[in-house]
Structure 1
């Protein structure tokens, strides 16, 4: 009876250590984000990820098939978390466009500061290792640009300057704004003492002040081309 009780208790302990698949998979993805983010895709190994997750390497393969599939799963999870943070941070649709953008930028910089390894995966690692990873990031960026495009178009409507601001102009402004935010997130992460609020304020001062002039019908225009002869073509090199 004593032996049977001991065996039963031991089996219960084994069962107690078992985790739901979703929890175990999250542990593996957490370990993968940290490893990929800090070491890069090429240098990261499945052994490292398994050890950090506290599981065997065969279990990682069982759950996530391959290193490529694991990296793709990491990209998708981190991309979803970033877009959800931005959309949640923007606030209700009834807010003025500049307030929505301010809220969204603060949410973006807060998220990237809190998840530096995830941001490294999205902005650095996934972009530099070809397809299919680059396609995943292109889809993420396209979604964010579309969202910012909507905010800029809303600002134009609010200003009553040009509710039909040319689509190409709005798209270009959104691309520029998102690109600036990405670069600024890298700078803020590498610069000690820069807060998410400071990074967002920097971009608002840089970008929204200019957008404010545009909405007030004070756009910057390039200088007229100076009259005069066209520059000479460089002489062909002869060997």
Structure 2
């Protein structure tokens, strides 16, 4: 009976079960220590079935990186409403980022730790580049909003926007890793911490008030 039910299960559902098991195993055990036997057992299927659906361990891990990266970026994009003021957009994006990382600790561990190792670093870089590019659009939107409200054009060169985006994403990644390992730290607190750290400086830049060493 159990075998018959398994055969009738749609392929997409079965694949999702195996992917969920893979993300949990890779996230908690690491790529090198994780085994296909563990993943198959956790998914409730045979190891040959995992290979049949998802090929090699390396290909399975790449698929996990791509799935978790897409889920993270989709969460951030869905949370940001274009019509909101710039600070509200950034706040919504940060809160969504930290909430997703907190609610999906195994997926975040795959992205933030396991995926950074060779030969998967290129996949992790693609994910990071997408997030950085999205943050750059938020900073650009903030500059446009400032221009509309004050008729002053913030002197933000493309290089400034690129550098600020890299810095903000790097800070968010580090803070999310720390927050997930710190008991009692909430996504709201993490987002508020980074917002307080970043927005005051961004707000000054929008007014062309730059800090410089004396």
TM range (shorter): over 0.9
Q: Which residue of 1 aligns with 2:41?
A: 51
Q: Is the 8 A contact 1:153 1:163 kept in 2?
A: no
Question: Bigger radius of gyration, 1 or 2?
Answer: 1
Query: Aligned-pair distance for 1:206?
Result: 0.1
3-state SS in 2 of match to 1:222 = coil
Q: Deviations over 1:162-220 (max 9, x none)?
A: 35620001100010000000011011111111111111110010001111111122111
C-alpha distance 164-220 of structure 1, shift in aligned 2 (>3 A) = closer
Q: Which residue of 2 aligns with 1:189?
A: 180
TM-score after normalising by structure 2: 0.94
1:162 aligns with 2:153: yes
3-state SS in 1 of match to 2:183 = coil
TM-score after normalising by structure 1: 0.84
Shift >6 Å, 4+ stretches: none
Query: Aligned-pair distance for 1:99?
Result: 0.7
* Aligned positions of 1:115-126 closer than 5 A: 115-126=104-115
RMSD of the alignment, in Å? Answer: 1.3
Q: Which residue of 1 aligns with 2:53?
A: 63
Q: Is the 8 A contact 1:109 1:200 kept in 2?
A: yes
Structure 1 portions without partners, runs of 5+: 1-9, 224-239
Say which structure, 1 or 2, has more relative contact order (CA 8 Å, 6+ apart): 2
- Aligned residue among 127, 130, 133 for 1:146: 133
1:213 aligns with 2:204: yes
1:136 aligns with 2:116: no
Taking the aligned partners of 2:6 and 2:36, their CA distance within structure 1 comes to: 22
1:180 aligns with 2:171: yes
1:203 aligns with 2:209: no
3-state SS in 2 of match to 1:162 = coil
Q: Which residue of 2 aligns with 1:35?
A: 25
Q: Which residue of 2 aligns with 1:24?
A: 14
